[in-house]
Amino acid sequence: MSSSHWEEFYANHLPPADFEDNRSLLKEFCERHNEDQNSIVLVTSGGTTVPLEHNTVRFVDNFSAGTRGSASTEYFLDHGYAVIFMHRLKSMEPFTRHFTGQQFFDMLDVAETMENGESGTPSIFVKPDSVDVLAPILAKYKIAQEANKILYINFTSVVDYMWLLRAACECLAAFDKRALLYLAAAVSDFYIPSDKMPTHKMQSGHGAPTISLQLVPKMLAPLVSLWVPDAFVVSFKLETDENLLIVKSRDSLNKYKHKLVIANMLQTRKSRVIFVTPTTSYEINLTKDQLLAGMEIEEHIVADVVQCHEDFMAAIPLQ
Ligand code: PMT
Q: Which atom of ligand 1 is nearest to the CA of 217?
A: 36
CA of 201 to the centre of ligand 1 (A): 29
Distances from the Cα of 252 to the Cα of 238, 256, 263, angstroms: 12, 6, 11
Q: Is 220 in the pocket of ligand 1 (CB under 6 A)?
A: yes
Tell me, what DSSP letter sits at residue 152? E
Can you tell me the distance from the alpha carbon of 301 to that of 296, in angstroms, rounded to the nearest whole number? 9
- Asked if 147 and 39 touch (Cβ cutoff 8 Å), the reply is no
Q: How confident is the model at residue 1 (pLDDT cuts 50, 70, 90)?
A: very low
Q: Where are the domains of the chain?
A: 3-95+148-230
Whether residue 203 is predicted with pLDDT greater than 90 in this model: the reply is: yes
Average pLDDT in the chain: 95
pLDDT confidence of residue 115:
72
- Asked if 220 and 83 touch (Cβ cutoff 8 Å), the reply is no
* Among 187, 225, 254, 305, residue to substitute to test ligand 1 (most atoms within 8 Å of Cβ): 187
In the predicted model, what is the mean pLDDT of residues 305-313?
97
Length of the chain measured in residues: 319
pLDDT confidence of residue 114:
72
Q: How confident is the model at residue 319 (pLDDT cuts 50, 70, 90)?
A: low
Which CATH class, in words, describes the domain spanning 3-95+148-230? alpha beta
Choice between 115 and 63, residue whose per-residue pLDDT is larger:
63
Beta strands of the chain (E only): which ranges? Answer: 40-45, 50-51, 59-60, 82-88, 108-115, 118-126, 150-155, 179-183, 190-191, 214-215, 232-239, 260-265, 272-276, 281-285
Q: Is 211 in the pocket of ligand 1 (CB under 6 A)?
A: no
pLDDT confidence of residue 40:
98
Q: Which percentage of the chain shows pLDDT scores above 90?
A: 92
- Residue 285 is which amino acid? N
Nearest CA to ligand 1 atom 17: 186
Q: Is 66 in the pocket of ligand 1 (CB under 6 A)?
A: yes
Can you tell me the distance from the alpha carbon of 44 to that of 151, in angstroms, rounded to the nearest whole number? 12
Q: Which atom of ligand 1 is nearest to the CA of 44?
A: 30
Q: Is 244 in the pocket of ligand 1 (CB under 6 A)?
A: no
- Asked if 83 and 43 touch (Cβ cutoff 8 Å), the reply is yes
- Asked if 158 and 188 touch (Cβ cutoff 8 Å), the reply is yes
